[in-house]
Structure 1
């Protein structure tokens, strides 16, 4: 309780109170402004709404790619093919690599001219874009890089859940004549639903907190195409020194994340068939 109070609750209350002020980090000047920061955000700051849309696209893309790849990898490894354990260890290596190192390596790989990715594409007569300096490729590249980082970890979670599926359910389905596709669709995936829900929520929350990939790979560009809400908070608070407005952005981000996670948790009974 003491740790929660000091590390979580007091900072949350402090950020909430700071969001109702016009404060400058350098001048140490704090002036109460009521709801002005929120009004500015909603009606006078088009960059806020652009960041909200970018954050939504990033979150959806990250969840879909990360969860799909993790589940596919777990299903393949569950078949106990030769070398599966070695492949799982290799897939887990990015998890134990620092995010900063992972982002910097991919920044070099995705360089427009001379980058490894474009060199491989040119070998098959494909001209790759300037990945990190064009709006759509930049956002897509950051999403994929962030998704690949934790595929190994989520695959281990799915693999553990697969190994806990009752063998009786599999045997009963086979006796009823279920084919391979029906086995996965009607038995395995429904039994994995609770684990999938947890993985989706964890990935979703993480997608709203992304910062280092944006800072190290694109710095929010090009033309703010990769500026998500978390990076906008950093810019307002530590580049423009508008800590009051940055706190208001943080409160909004917290509220959006909490609301969407609550909706996912409320809707779990519609697709989670095993508790």
Structure 2
């Protein structure tokens, strides 16, 4: 029976495994090989060694895209994760929490194009809803999507709203995994709500926080849809992200080798940040024993 269950397990895993190999591993290997080639997507490939990588490091547009991506990450990660955690804690014990979860999760399953178009209207500097709301308080709202100082902030605001429900659901799962006996013991000892949050909720929620942080960092370095739909990388490349640079280099300028080199650099950056997080996590992630 055990062998039979194992066989069925492999049978059910096979489609997912084949998809992973066909649509992830093989393209990754092809992109790695292509990063050492000069190819326009149609003609013959020519091996040029590290020239594509050196070209990217000397390209000011690449550094501009990298800085915009890092700026977006800095804007998105702390606020997005904090709001998701606070919202999950607020919804964890209230009545009708299932209905609230549905409402907050609905944007997550909405297409990026639809979300981008809606927020283009919301953030319109002349007649957008947000600036109209700010005007009620005597605040003259900025040109969110056409001002180089505000465009990345705008994209970060959209992303925080868009992914809030996803991270919230993960935090809710983590909260429900914390045994109520810890809180009961703390109440007997006279602990306040803040003390219970500080000494019970935060430490026992740290594995969930670690997971959400890792996934959010990986996702933030791959931001593309929002900038593509809302600003096309503008104004003056102020929202020109690293993945946008990879897309434009490959499918607009048809420099596949340079695009693959940029993709490999992005892969290494994400890998380094992930490894650093795993290293640092040993100091603040506490697993319930």
Q: Structures share a fold, TM > 0.5?
A: yes
Structure 1 counterpart of 2:86, from 55, 58, 72: 72
* Alignment partners' CA distance in 2, 1:47 and 1:77: 44
Partner of 2:3: none
Aligned to 1:45: 59
Q: Mapping of 1:1-275 within 5 angstroms?
A: 1-25=17-41, 27-42=42-57, 44-80=58-94, 82-274=95-287
Does the residue aligned with 1:127 lie in a helix, a strand or coil?
coil
Q: Deviation string for 1:19-70 (max 9, x for gaps)?
A: 1112113x5242221111111112x211111211111111222221221111
* Cα distance in structure 2, aligned partners of 1:113 and 1:252: 39
CA distance in 1, matches of 2:43, 2:122: 42
Deviation (angstroms), 1:13: 1.2
**3-state SS of 1:37 partner:** helix
Indicate if the aligned counterparts of 1:194 and 1:272 stay in contact, CA closer than 8 A.
yes
Q: Distance in 2 between matches of 1:199 and 1:266?
A: 16
Mapped contact 2:69–2:223 kept (Cα < 8 A): no
CA distance in 2 between partners of 1:228 and 1:171 (Å):
48
Q: Distance in 2 between matches of 1:17 and 1:168?
A: 55
Rounded Cα–Cα distance in structure 1 between residues aligned with 2:179 and 2:138: 49
Specify the SS of the correspondent of 2:45.
strand
Structure 2 unmatched ranges of 5 or more: 1-16
Conserved 8 A contact 2:35-2:264: yes
SS of the residue 1:192 aligns to: helix
Query: 1:4 & 1:86 partners in 2: Cα distance?
Result: 34
CA distance in 2, matches of 1:144, 1:265: 27
Alignment length, in residue pairs?
272
Return the alpha-carbon distance in structure 2 between the equivalents of residues 231 and 193 of structure 1.
33
Give the whole-Å Cα distance in 2 for the aligned partners of 1:143 and 1:87.
Answer: 23
Q: Aligned partners of 1:168 and 1:84: how far apart in 2? A: 22
Root-mean-square deviation (CA, aligned residues, Å) is 1.4
Q: Distance in 2 between matches of 1:107 and 1:4?
A: 35
- What is the deviation of 1:2? 4.0
User: Is the partner of 2:150 in helix, strand or coil?
Assistant: helix
TM-score by length of 1: 0.94
Shift of 1:83: 4.6
